[in-house]
Amino acid sequence: MKKLAVLLIVFAIGFGNQVKADEGMWIPLLINKNIVKMQKLGLKLSTEDIYSVNNSSLKDAIVIFGRGCTGEIISPEGLILTNHHCGYGSIQKVSSPEHNYLDDGFWATSKEEEIPIEGLSVKFLVSMQDVTKETLNGVEEDMSKEDKSATKKDNIKGLIEQATNDTHYSAIVEPMFAGNEYYLFVYETFTDIRLVGTPPESIGKFGADTDNWMWPRHTGDFSMFRVYTGEDGKPAEYSAENMPLKPKHYLPISVSGVKEGDFSMILGNPGRTQRYLSSFGVNLAVNQSNMTIVKIREEKLRIMKEGMDADEAVRLQYASKYAGTANYWKYFIGQTKGLKKLKVKENKEAEEAAFTEWLNNNSHAREKYGNALVYIEEAYDVLEQYNLANWYFREAVYRGSEILKYANSFKNLSALFAEKETPEADIEKEISNLDENISAHFKNYNVDIDRNMFASMILMYHQNVPLDQQPVYLLEMDKKFKGDYGAYADYVFDKSIFDNPNEVKEFLSKPKHKILEKDPAFVAAKTFFESYKDLKAKTKDTYSKLAEGEKLYIAGLREMNPDVNYYPDANFTMRLTYGTVEGYHPSDAVYFNYFTTMDGIIQKEDPGNWEFTVPEKLKQLYNEEDFGAYGDDGVMKVCFLTNHDITGGNSGSPVINGKGELIGLAFDGNWEAMSGDIAFENKIQRTINVDIRYVLFVIDKFAGAKNIIDELTLVKTIPVIKDYAQPDEAELMKGAVVD
């Protein structure tokens, strides 16, 4: 067990005035605007400690993990901590019936045992910069939309080239406040990432779908990976000779625990919010979009579960797909309830009425922003007409049966064949790319599930999308098979090559354009994708009008309220949110405490339900109260709540105390506040975090992975009341008791 560094802190008796937590996902570059509030809440760091380009800072320990999560570096050897559900796909990828790391967990006892994850990458933020002026250089009001767009595009291209020239970095310019501002983000990407440790699902996914988005939670939602580099410390493709990353900064870990009212902050990469969404947008979400997504996903989950329950190997294949589908199925149910309960549409209407009144009393503002709400309302009138076709394509076709999306991946090959003078080398390159993807696609593919998925999804599409917006081809198939979509699915799967890896490989060995063009899965995919392309063309101008309306509206709001510190919507760039550890009242006469313990795990145990099974060793440790250095007066705390403002993409984000130490790992939001992506509600919106002490307990006492513990920097703070009869602080430091 690594020694704990012990810090002795003398606390004054009594508390200052309560400071309300701050809503917002703040750009770290501009956190100086919030620093006074943060320090009143308990922050001990400076803005430079949080974000700095020239010196090591907290931002250097934060990574974009994979394509949709956050992770943090927690050791001087590039060890990454993130959520179990963020690492789930990678863990599943390297699992097999013989080595089922989802069921059994995995712990490397040495770096040689760490497992490379093909295709996994992490990104470090090198720098961010406000480039609004540079992006809009040369953009004039009297320009056409096309010329404005082209000018901005050229400016952005130049900014990216300038930022990445002669480096191995990548960069992106992201619009903020609906295009009123622009920021440049420069990244360093590493691709040699290896699995170090993961608890079994019975810990990392305890409660599964039943507990998802719910409090109280008892989930050890974490997994661990490591970043490797070339000998020069720069990114490199996998090689046995690569070395663990030497990070610019890593997070020390506090084992002191948290108490209600403690300051905490989260640095991460929230995916997408719509805090400036209009009442018209909320109305469409509540009355059509959300219920459509829920309806389609509910059917997809039923079909997958039916196949998974019948075969353990299939369950392993589809575990990640099922989890991903279920997550936002439940989310949209909760969001709809939250939007209605909190009267978000009505609140938005009140905000818009205040905006309109301001315009009516301000001729200058009316001239600038008078069309904002007009454009938005007109746009939604049109979008509503095509909304069902949009969502049924996205959920039932694009994310529906895999045979369609896979067949569509051959469209480039078809286009190359169709061109009369295509160089043979181009065709061979495309064939090679498709050939390389065969094993990856079919590794987690079950033809029976996909056949059932096709029949059900296409039937739902036909039943719910307006007939005049459906492809003529589908109407012909409906007539041909007399509305029997099971028979239609049998026809497609019996005649297509795209449900069988051997047939695909055979085709690519001797590809013929006629075979591809006559394949029923390819024909169906081509038809649906072209239909969606046509839909996008019909709504292109409408979306442009909506974007212009939203840009004007947000600019107007900021001018109307010049003293308000507005924050931009999340867009999967680094943000900071801060607040306190805090419970909440979900409803009348009900209070939820801010933490849970292992008592809840035992109380929830149900050996007959895989979601609530408890490993025997975990029960033994509980019964013996063998919590090591991680217990709290004989209690093992598992999760805790904070009032942070987060969303998807924040999964895996570090929860950090006022001294920059890791105290937990964010993994979920609470059910009562699922409207949070659109409207933050301070009284009930909470972030659910796994306590870092439970993470350490699982690694140390449950898994026995002491090699991992030895790699960490663990810090314990002992609160001491100032007593002048005691020795001074220096003497106390000398006599500190080491746990």
Residues 377-383: contacts with CB within 8 Å, 24+ apart? 377/278, 377/280, 378/545, 379/542, 379/543, 379/545, 379/546, 379/549, 380/278, 380/280, 380/281, 380/283, 380/284, 380/546, 382/539, 382/542, 383/284, 383/539, 383/542, 383/543, 383/546
Report how far residue 134's alpha carbon sits from residue 122's, in angstroms, rounded to the nearest whole number: 29
Helices (H) and strands (E) counted in the chain, each on its own, are 29, 24
Is 458 in contact with 474 (CB distance < 8 Å)?
Answer: yes
| Candidate list 85, 218, 249, 462, residue with the active-site label | 85
Q: How many Å apart are CA 712 and CA 81, to the nearest integer?
A: 11
Percent helix, strand and coil across the chain, each to the nearest 5:
50, 15, 35
Q: CB-based burial of residue 691 (10 Å sphere; 0-12 exposed, 13-18 middle, 19+ buried)?
A: buried
Take residue 254 and report the two structure tokens written for it: 């506090």
Which of 254, 401, 651, 653 is flagged as catalytic?
651
Is 632 assigned a catalytic role?
A: no
For the chain, give the number of residues.
739
Element (DSSP H or E) covering residue 37? helix 35-41
544 counts as catalytic: no
Residues 6+ apart with CB under 8 A from 397: 404, 457, 458, 461, 528, 532
DSSP, res 607: T
CB 250 within 8 A of CB 638: no
Q: Phi/psi of residue 400, each to 5°? A: -95, -120
426-463: burial string, b at 16+ Cβ within 10 Å, e else: ebeebbeebeeeeeebbebbbeebbbbbbbbbbbbbbe
What's the DSSP call for residue 581?
B
Q: How far apart are CA 533 and CA 491, in angstroms?
A: 26
Q: Mark whether 85 is an active-site residue.
A: yes
Nearest to 253 by CA among 632, 640, 661: 661
C-alpha closest to that of 251 among 642, 574, 664, 647: 664
**Active-site amino acid positions:** 85, 221, 651
